[in-house]
Amino acid sequence: MVFLAEGGIGALGINLPSLIAQLINFTLLLLILGWAFKRFLFPLLDERRNRIREGLDAADESKRRLAETETATAAEMEKARGEGQGLIGQAQQMSARIQEEAQGAARAEAETLLERARSEIQLERDAAIADLRREFADLTITAAERVIRRSLDRKAHRELIEEVLAEAPQGGEGGDNQR
Partner 1 sequence: MRLSRGRLTAVGLVVLALLGFVFLRGPTPAISIKAETIQSFGPVDVTNTMLTSWIVVIIIVAIVYLGTRRRDLVPRGFQNMFEAALEAFYNLVVSVAGEKSGRRFFPVVATIFFFVLVSNWLSLFPVFNVIGLVREDDHGFVMEQTDVGPLPLSWVALSGPGNLSADSIDEDDADAEEQAAAARKDGKIVGELIPLFRGPNTDLNTPLSLAIVSAIAVESWAIASLGIGYGKKFFNFGGMFRGLRRLDFGLLFRGVIDAFVGFLELVSELVRLISFTFRLFGNMFAGEVLILMFTFLTPLVFTIVFYGLELFVGIIQAFIFAVLTLVFGMMAVAHGEAHAAEGEHEEGSRAMAPEAQS
Site membership for partner 1, residue 58 (CB under 8 A): no
Sole binder of partner 1 in the list 28, 98, 102, 152 (CB under 8 A):
28
Query: Least CB distance from residue 2 to partner 1, whole Å?
Result: 17
Q: Contact 155/175 with Cβ under 8 angstroms? A: no
Whether 152 contacts 141, CB under 8 Å: yes
User: Cβ atoms within 10 A of the Cβ of 145, count?
Assistant: 14
Q: CA end-to-end span of the chain, whole Å?
A: 172
Q: How far is the CB of 32 from partner 1 (least distance, A)?
A: 6
Separation of alpha carbons 93 and 97, rounded Å: 6
Of 20 and 88, the one with the shorter C-beta distance to partner 1 is: 20
Q: Which stretch binds partner 1 (CB under 8 A): 36-44, 91-99, 120-128, 141-149?
A: 36-44
**Cβ burial, residue 125 (10 Å; 0-12/13-18/19+):** middle
**With binding defined as CB under 8 A, does residue 5 bind partner 1?**
no
Return residues touching partner 1 (CB under 8 A).
Answer: 11-15, 17-19, 21-23, 25-30, 32-34, 36-38, 40-42, 44-45, 47-48, 51
